[in-house]
Structure 1
Amino acid sequence: MPDVARERLSKLFKDRQIVRFVDLKDIGLGSREIDRLVSREVLEKVGHGAYRLSDAEAPSTWLSFAVLAVRHPEAIICLDSAAAYYGFTTANPINVHAAFPYNSSIPSSRSPSVQGVRWQEKSMTLGIETVTVANTPVKITSKARTVVDLLRAAERSGDKELALEVLKSYVNEGEPIRDLSRYAKALNREKSIRPYLDAVQAFRM
């Protein structure tokens, strides 16, 4: 690889571990050269249109979150994936569970494979935090918001096993119950979730 290209590549990856195909194109690398760098193990393709340096530090367990965030900055990690990130469940979802703006399309890429939901504007801003994965900012629902979302989903599907496991983990970690009530009220789900919250309050007394 020419020194100029190597220098540009070094600058591109200076503050981030994952870049898009278009970012590589912007520094003057063509499709064939990018493929050649992958074959020579200079670059590693970590998802559809996403790359990292092959000699970078070992990838994070949550690398798929970062890949999704690079390609879709608007995406919010939620539900099962958020619960797994916080250690609230031993389940490891095959797909990345993520929320997208209501009027947008859900990515069909298999790398990472996304199980998406569409949320209205209020849901896209309520209880959303940003964590760093592989030097990449990733949006994710807060711990309390994650629990409330899973309880809401359980009420609709009737499958409450995961939601109850996550609620129990949340309580055992000493997280504030008032935050659950606040998000349930803000999302107009306080009535359906109230029995769970009352049970938790009784458990803590």
Structure 2
Amino acid sequence: MYEKNFITAGMVCEQGRAQYYATLQKAKQGELVRVKRGVYAEEIALADVMVDVESLIPGGILCMFSAWEHYELTTQVPQQYDIAIKRGRKVVVPQYPNFKLHNLSDKALSIGVTTEIISGYRVKIFDIEKCVCDAVKFRNKIGIDVCTEIVKNYLKRSDRNIAKLMKYAKILRVAKTLGTYLEMGL
């Protein structure tokens, strides 16, 4: 019935009160796992490479290590799902799977947001150029070696868009630093 999607209480309530109580009963019997208040999933959905980010953190955007790994810009394996949210927003994250929230300004959240299908889920993610700019911006937190790896792998790609990359870099105020990396990589 639900395939491998996450089920929210709101979705079930639309189908009627009986369906809502049936979902609660399935959770009680172990057929569904309560991920957090009002969100349930089958165990197979939790074992997948991706989760339904929109159900767990509405409005969240996949970023940092999770996005870099998706775009194959790094060999680092993310230990959690990195999700960007609006600065100051309070979000309840489930105990499992692990999420790391990154609080960004409205300006940073509005640049380069795209939607992709990852493992059957519709996920908001920053585009590849925004991800490269984030690597440069947070190079001291993630490590210079990881930042260098990301920039080098981006430059090897045939679908790279240097003009778009520099446009984002100027808006995010990392153009000078990115320029240094590009000089070394070109």
Indicate yes or no: 2:126 matched with 1:141: yes
Alignment TM-score, normalising by the size of structure 1: 0.74
| Counterpart among 16, 39, 50 of residue 62 in structure 1 | 50
What SS does structure 2 have at the residue aligned with 1:110?
coil
Change over 3 Å in CA distance of 1:186–1:38 after alignment to 2: same
Q: CA RMSD in A?
A: 2.9
Unpaired stretches in structure 1, ≥5 consecutive residues: 1-9
Instruction: Give 2:144's aligned amino acid.
Output: K
Unpaired stretches in structure 2, ≥5 consecutive residues: none
Write out aligned runs for 1:3-152 (5 A): 10=1, 13=2, 17-26=5-14, 27-29=16-18, 33-38=22-27, 43-45=31-33, 47-48=35-36, 49-52=38-41, 60-63=48-51, 66=52, 68-133=53-118, 135-152=120-137
- C-alpha deviation, 1:149, in angstroms: 0.2
What SS does structure 2 have at the residue aligned with 1:168?
helix
Change over 3 Å in CA distance of 1:31–1:99 after alignment to 2: same
Any conservation in 2 of the 1:17–1:134 contact (CA below 8 Å)?
no
Which contiguous aligned blocks of 4+ residues in structure 1 show a shift greater than 6 angstroms?
Answer: 56-59
Aligned to 2:162: 177
Q: Which has the larger radius of gyration?
A: 1
Any conservation in 2 of the 1:95–1:115 contact (CA below 8 Å)?
yes
Aligned to 1:7: none
Any conservation in 2 of the 1:130–1:139 contact (CA below 8 Å)?
yes
CA distance in 1, matches of 2:76, 2:142: 18
Task: Give the percent of matched residue pairs that are identical in Structure 1 and Structure 2.
Answer: 18
Alignment TM-score, normalising by the size of structure 2: 0.81
Any conservation in 2 of the 1:184–1:190 contact (CA below 8 Å)?
yes
| Counterpart among 129, 141, 154 of residue 157 in structure 1 | 141
Change over 3 Å in CA distance of 1:18–1:93 after alignment to 2: same
Any conservation in 1 of the 2:7–2:40 contact (CA below 8 Å)?
yes
- C-alpha deviation, 1:106, in angstroms: 4.1
Any conservation in 1 of the 2:129–2:168 contact (CA below 8 Å)?
yes
